[in-house]
Structures are given as structure tokens and as C-alpha cells.
């Protein structure tokens, strides 16, 4: 675990670059106005297949969905960073379990959705709200389906790139199970995320990509972009690298749950369940039910 963590850190961040730029700014007598000038993004692995996303500048960090505190605390200490904010997408324990401990230890602010049980005290946010974190505006998008009050956090510009923290709603090649919502709700939530800019970095909370792509290939065996992406992700996992973040462009090319209106996907759903209706929601529901039992 520690080795994997060190590996990931080396892969995703370049502390030397951060130090050099900070030194140069300091030598020139220029103080960074906001930390986003030097933002670094990386996933800290947790449990079996969770990622706790970290976004940080030279001094302060935010984390998303900390299911546990230990790995995050170790990482913050190693890098001399102060935890500023904890963003939570939904109430499941593997997304919230470390929040109270991190808040007590670091004094970080906790932000989470309205209408879901959360580790109090926290700042509740809802559709249309904007949360300022590390000088960056994160828009709250309500995406019910996996849970009733699930939210995503979207920042249109982090050092020139849009960034999305989407919890268990959108995965690379897949989507979350419908524990508390309907297929219609989840389809609408995914439609909203797929309407974000193509370049948006998609930070999901689980490393489910290879299993999702196996299902995606059963649905669309002739999708060449999907085959190329599968090979790329297999190579990454062989070296224990994360397949994430993905992008909205990639997901629109390979994710059957964002492609349920494509002719090939509709046809596969109809073949799988000939009795289902052919409307958008029914096709999506067939895909989700098929994935639930796919091995």
C-alpha cells in the first residue's frame, strides 16, 4: 500500500516543479494570488478500490470523499500540506468514514449534500450553489440515482482545465448502482455530466474501469475507441497506475451508459431484453440491469 502510494505520488505530482516555481516567485518578490497557479491532482488509494482525490497548491489541500483518515493524514504530513476543505458527494460510509477524524485533527471545513445523513457539523450545499475552495469556484450539480441526494462538484478552470468530482455517479466505462434512485433520474444525471466540456477531467471514486470496460465490450464489441481504451487501461493497471482521471470526451466515446441512445447500444439492449420498451429510459434501465448480473 505504501509502495503503491509512493508510486502514485511520483506519477501524479512533481514536487520539484512546485518547489522551483514557488522559489522563483519568491525570488521575484511575487506572491501567488491563488493556489490554483500550482494545482496538483492525485488519487490516494483506500480500501480495496476507492480513491480519495486530493487537489493541492503549495500549502493547502482539499480532499474528496475520505472514507478513511489514515492515508490522507500520512500524505498531508509527508508533503507538509494543510487540509483546507473536505468535499463529500454522498452519504455512503466509504465516502464519509474519515471525515470527522480529519476535521477534528486538521480543523478542515466539511462540505456535503443537503438531504443525506452526514458527519455534522458541515456546510450543506445543493444544486446551483458555488463553493469556493482554495480560491477556486466549484459548482454543485445534483445527480440523484446512486443515492437520492448525490451531488457532484465541477470547477470550469483549474489551471486551464475543467475538473469534475463525481463520486459514485459516473465511473470510467460505467455508472453507479441505483440504490436510491430510478433509471430516469440516473439517465438525467448522466446527461447533465456528459454535457460538460469534453476536456473535463473526470475524477470518480472507484477503480472499476477494467470490469466496466469488459461489460462495455459485451455491449459494443465493434467500438474501436473502446478497444484502444481497454488496451491503454490494462497497461496502466499492470503497473498499478490508476486509470483515472478520465475525461468527458473519452466517456462519451466508450461508456455504454453515456451512449444509450447510440444505435449499436440500443440494439444490444433490445437483444438482451426483447420484452423491454425502446424508449430512452427503458434502454438505460435494461443496460443497468444487465450490468448488475454481468460477469
Active site residues: 90, 92, 94-95, 146, 168, 206
Query: What track of x and - describes contact with Zn ion for positions 155 through 174 (by CB under 5 A)?
Result: -------------x------
CB of 34 to Zn ion, least distance (A): 31
Nearest alpha-carbon partner for 286 in 178, 149, 169: 178
> Does residue 288 belong to the site contacting Zn ion (CB under 5 A)?
no
CB of 146 to Zn ion, least distance (A): 6
Nearer to Zn ion (CB atom), residue 96 or residue 260 = 96
Query: What track of x and - describes contact with Zn ion for positions 39 through 78 (by CB under 5 A)?
Result: ----------------------------------------
Nearer to Zn ion (CB atom), residue 9 or residue 63 = 63
What's the residue count for the chain?
295
Identify the burial level of 95 via C-beta atoms within 10 angstroms of its C-beta, where 0-12 means exposed, 13-18 middle and 19 or more buried: buried
| Other Cβ atoms within 10 Å of 110 Cβ, number | 21
CB of 288 to Zn ion, least distance (A): 15
CB of 274 to Zn ion, least distance (A): 32
d(C-alpha 40, C-alpha 124), whole Å: 26
Contact residue for Zn ion among 56, 91, 92, 291 (CB under 5 A): 92
Stretch that binds Zn ion, among 87-95, 153-161, 234-242, 271-279 (CB under 5 A): 87-95
> Which spans of this chain sit near Zn ion (rule: CB under 5 A)?
92, 168
Amino acid at each position: 500500500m505504501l509502495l503503491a502510494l509512493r508510486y502514485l505520488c511520483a506519477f501524479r505530482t512533481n514536487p520539484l516543479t512546485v518547489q522551483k516555481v514557488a522559489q522563483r516567485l519568491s525570488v521575484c518578490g511575487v506572491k501567488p494570488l491563488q493556489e490554483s497557479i500550482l494545482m496538483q491532482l492525485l488519487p490516494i488509494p483506500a480500501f480495496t478500490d476507492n480513491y480519495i482525490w486530493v487537489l493541492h497548491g503549495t500549502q493547502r489541500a482539499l480532499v474528496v470523499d475520505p472514507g478513511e483518515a489514515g492515508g490522507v493524514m500520512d500524505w498531508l504530513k509527508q508533503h507538509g500540506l494543510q487540509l483546507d476543505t473536505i468535499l463529500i458527494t454522498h452519504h455512503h460510509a466509504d465516502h464519509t468514514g474519515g471525515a470527522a477524524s480529519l476535521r477534528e485533527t486538521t480543523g478542515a471545513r466539511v462540505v456535503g449534500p443537503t438531504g443525506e445523513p452526514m458527519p455534522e457539523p458541515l456546510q450543506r450545499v445543493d444544486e446551483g450553489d458555488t463553493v469556493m475552495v482554495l480560491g477556486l469556484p466549484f459548482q454543485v450539480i445534483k445527480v440523484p440515482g446512486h443515492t437520492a441526494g448525490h451531488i457532484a462538484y465541477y470547477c470550469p478552470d483549474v489551471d486551464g482545465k475543467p475538473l469534475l468530482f463525481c463520486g459514485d455517479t459516473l465511473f470510467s466505462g460505467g455508472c453507479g448502482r441505483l440504490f436510491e434512485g430510478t433509471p430516469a433520474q440516473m439517465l438525467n444525471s448522466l446527461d447533465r455530466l456528459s454535457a460538460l466540456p469534453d476536456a473535463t477531467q473526470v475524477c470518480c471514486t472507484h477503480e472499476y474501469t477494467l470490469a466496466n470496460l469488459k461489460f462495455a465490450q459485451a455491449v459494443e464489441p465493434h467500438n474501436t475507441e473502446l478497444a484502444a481504451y481497454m488496451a491503454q487501461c490494462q497497461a496502466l493497471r499492470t503497473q498499478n497506475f490508476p486509470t483515472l482521471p478520465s475525461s468527458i470526451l473519452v466517456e462519451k466515446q466508450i461508456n455504454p451508459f453515456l451512449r444509450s441512445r447510440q444505435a449499436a447500444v440500443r440494439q444490444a439492449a433490445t437483444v438482451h431484453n426483447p420484452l423491454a420498451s425502446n424508449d430512452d429510459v427503458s434502454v438505460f434501465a435494461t443496460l443497468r440491469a444487465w450490468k448488475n448480473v454481468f460477469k
